[in-house]
Amino acid sequence: MLNEMTKTSVEEPNTTSSLLNNASKIGGIYEMTYQACKITTNDFRVNEVGGLPQTAYLLATPTGDSHDSNDSSDDVPTVLLRVTGTADLPDEQELQFLRENVARTTTPGISTYTHPVDTHTQAEMQRTAYTADILGTFYTDTDGTLAFGNDVQSIYAAGDYTVYKPSVETLARIASYPRHPDRDDGVRLGRVRYNSAEHTPIPDEATVNVDVTDFTGSKTGLFGMTRTGKSNAVKIIAAATAEHAASTNATVGQLLFDPSGEYANANQQDQRALGELDTNHVTIYRWNTATSGSRHSLKLNFFDEDTIRPVWGMIKSILTRDADYVRSFKQANVIGPETRQQNYSAYTRARWCRSALYATLIKAGFNAPTGTLSTPQVRGKLVEFIENETGENFNTTQNGNPRLDADNIVTFWETIAGNSDYVDSIKDDMIDADLEAVLDMLTASRGSGYRLLQPLQVFHDPVRGSDFAAKIYNDLEAGQIVIVDVSTGPQEAIQYVSERILRRTLEENISTFRNGETCANIQVYLEEAHRFLGREYIETNEDDPYVRLAREGSKYHIGLIYATQQVSSVDHQILSETANWIVTHLNNTEETKTLSKHYEFDAFDRLTRQAQDKGFARMITDSGRYIVPLQVDLFDESRATRLERLLVD
């Protein structure tokens, strides 16, 4: 009957028949191939089931003489369909004539749905059809468990299939397959969502659970525009990973680089930050902080030879004053060759400039570490001259080079700056353009000089041997969530810090792997990934830690979760090796075209471009068999509290 909804009722929990439990019959199939089909139904049934959105899941079973849909003991293969659009019925032309005639003759202003036609004609007018892709077949395996194959073994006469809209409970099973939402270790990421105009939301019980082991040690791509929920998805994945590890007694370290400070700090966009979790399983590293409890410093020792490149980059980035002496200072070579053998003269001169730079930093108020800061290679006559001029008595190396420390390095170089003619008479052209530029900054002879460097003191830590990269790896090895807050600071310093941490992480796990031992399970989260995973970048930076992480990380149990709004810029090999895909809104066809080359994302092409709702995503995981449309949960107070309880226990 037109006004009766047929619902199945079966009890078997692990068979294909159980998928039809409380399912609503909506119609049948009248045309079918191995890839797609056409479904006949009517407005009444569509309205009773709450509508049939594009991308909605449906189930179809053969219901001929050998397959009775009312027999709950008959466990038949069940075909999984996904609605793709509308179709014309065989008599569509006649139906269109009827509908147009009614639309033309319906009295304006009447709010009720009435037509000047008889009941039979009205019922005929309400007939409609949909197209659907065939995603595969659920069947009962030989061991009695529910199995799925991504095709159909055979097709029967089209009229032999009945189509159902699954219940909320079955929808959860479909969206979470092969996990069971109630009886295994799957972790919830969100709930099923088909469309943007969701005026009647799918119940929250239609959960989307994932197998967290799909993510650990694998590549996961998060694709979407800014402010469409990528960062919240990162929090949910990180929380799900931590929940799984806590409930299974596994150890998984998670490293999040935080370019916006949204993981370490609370913000208006999200309800909670990972850094706010009340647990000792979360540690935060940032610039402007003193090491205390779970907060650690990322400061650099500006006098450490190993950090001269990032330090010099930071200094140049902060000097924006347009003055000749500032430009000359920034052009000075304080780095030089790594060894004397490469270029003896350039090596020596660069170390003169570097030593003078250390003097300039001390004069600017930087606290220097104890001990020798530099041993510039100069002639003994020059050392004697400075000792006579200043009354200093320099300790020297075996080669006669002065040992300069925080107490005498400024005096040494100021004396040279004040006696340039005599210095050049001892060593012709010692004070070249580079050294002269550094000495001008030291003496402030042409402007503010060294005072321009004072703002950089907040990034300096004089403690020798403090290796934040080593500390971070130890935290990861212990299963911590480590947030590296790089939302402030010069770009040169941010790049140095990130690369140093990644290199140390890779080196430690590679060393463990080569020793035949089990590597620590580590997950790395990378924002703005197109900057590091683009084809041109990868081809020219093969030894870059980001490139090595993307190419080799999984071999050493290091998973990569990367986020970008530019799918097309990511190297095609990285995309082809990405196991898990979560896609929110992309705003142009170039990106969705690239996306459509993978899995079945072409079926969601228009929706991906149009729907801008935060957290509305399309997902496929390593163990998943088809794309699942979902609303990713908000990392809110309840989710944070649940995670805190698990981590504390």
Per-residue pLDDT tens for 16-71? 888 999 999 999 999 999 999 999 999 999 999 999 999 999 999 987 654 444 44
Identify the band that residue 189 occupies on the pLDDT scale cut at 50, 70 and 90. Answer: very high
Write the Ramachandran bin of 543: left for phi over 0, alpha for psi from -120 to 50, otherwise beta: alpha
The chain-wide mean pLDDT, for the chain, equals 88
Of the candidates 559, 628, 571, the residue with the CA atom closest to the CA atom of residue 599? 628
Among 152-156, 493-497, 595-599, 609-613, the least confident range: 493-497
Write the Ramachandran bin of 463: left for phi over 0, alpha for psi from -120 to 50, otherwise beta: beta
Tell me which of 3.40.50.300, 3.30.910.20, 3.40.190.10, 2.60.120.310 is the CATH number of domain 211-299+463-643.
3.40.50.300
Rounded distance between C-alpha atoms, residue 632 and residue 481, angstroms:
21
Residues near 637 by Cβ (< 8 Å), separated by ≥ 6?
Answer: 271, 272
Q: What is the pLDDT of residues 352-408, one digit of tens each?
A: 999 999 999 999 999 999 999 999 999 999 999 999 999 999 999 998 999 999 999
pLDDT at position 289 is: 67
Q: What is the mean pLDDT of residues 605-615?
A: 95
Work out the burial of residue 350: count CB atoms within 10 Å of its CB; fewer than 13 is exposed, 13-18 middle, 19 or more buried. Answer: buried
Q: How far is CA 2 from the centre of its chain?
A: 49
- 266, pLDDT greater than 80: no
Residues near 322 by Cβ (< 8 Å), separated by ≥ 6?
Answer: none
Identify the band that residue 111 occupies on the pLDDT scale cut at 50, 70 and 90. Answer: very low
Structural domain spans, the chain: 16-171, 211-299+463-643, 305-459
Q: What is the pLDDT of residues 408-466, one digit of tens each?
A: 999 999 999 999 989 988 888 899 999 999 999 999 998 999 999 999 998 888 875 55
Ramachandran angles phi, psi of 312, nearest 5°: -65, -35
Residue 472, both tokens: 């971070």
Identify the band that residue 531 occupies on the pLDDT scale cut at 50, 70 and 90. Answer: confident
More reliable by pLDDT, 6 or 618? 618
Among 85-89, 96-100, 151-155, the least confident range: 96-100
Of the candidates 603, 600, 616, 625, the residue with the CA atom closest to the CA atom of residue 131? 603
Half-sphere exposure of 276 (CA within 13 A, CB side): 17
Percentage of the residues of the chain whose pLDDT score is greater than 90: 61
pTM for the model: 0.83
pLDDT at position 158 is: 59
Q: What is the mean pLDDT of residues 248-268?
A: 88
* 196-201 LR contacts (CB < 8 Å, sep 24+): 196/607, 196/610, 196/611, 196/612, 196/613, 196/616, 200/50, 200/51
Q: What is the mean pLDDT of residues 287-300?
A: 74
Strand partners, 561: 220, 525
More reliable by pLDDT, 360 or 267? 360
Rounded distance between C-alpha atoms, residue 443 and residue 436, angstroms:
10
pLDDT at position 291 is: 62
Q: What is the mean pLDDT of residues 137-147?
A: 89
Answer whether 2's CB lies under 8 Å from 44's CB: yes
Sheet holding 616-620, edge to edge: 207-210, 187-192, 628-632, 616-620, 580-583, 219-223, 558-564, 521-526, 252-258, 481-485, 282-286, 295-297
Strand partners, 640: none
Identify the band that residue 649 occupies on the pLDDT scale cut at 50, 70 and 90. Answer: low
Q: What is the pLDDT of residues 467-509, one digit of tens each?
A: 788 899 999 999 999 999 988 877 777 888 888 899 999 999 9
Radius of gyration, CA atoms only, the chain: 34
- 3, pLDDT greater than 70: no
Residue spans of alpha helices (H) in 367-490: 380-390, 409-418, 420-426, 433-443, 468-477
Residues near 470 by Cβ (< 8 Å), separated by ≥ 6?
Answer: 504
8-state DSSP, 517: -
More reliable by pLDDT, 88 or 353? 353
- 73, pLDDT greater than 50: no
Q: How far is CA 513 from the centre of its chain?
A: 26
- 598, pLDDT greater than 80: yes
Q: What is the mean pLDDT of residues 76-86?
A: 95
SS (H, E, C) 262-318: CCCCCCCCCCCCHHHCCCCCEEEEECCCCCECCEEECCECCCCHHHHHHHHHHHHHH
Identify the band that residue 268 occupies on the pLDDT scale cut at 50, 70 and 90. Answer: low
Rounded distance between C-alpha atoms, residue 528 and residue 565, angstroms:
8
pLDDT at position 267 is: 67
- 136, pLDDT greater than 50: yes
Q: How far is CA 439 from the centre of its chain?
A: 46
Rounded distance between C-alpha atoms, residue 610 and residue 618, angstroms:
13
Of the candidates 486, 562, 527, 481, the residue with the CA atom closest to the CA atom of residue 276? 481
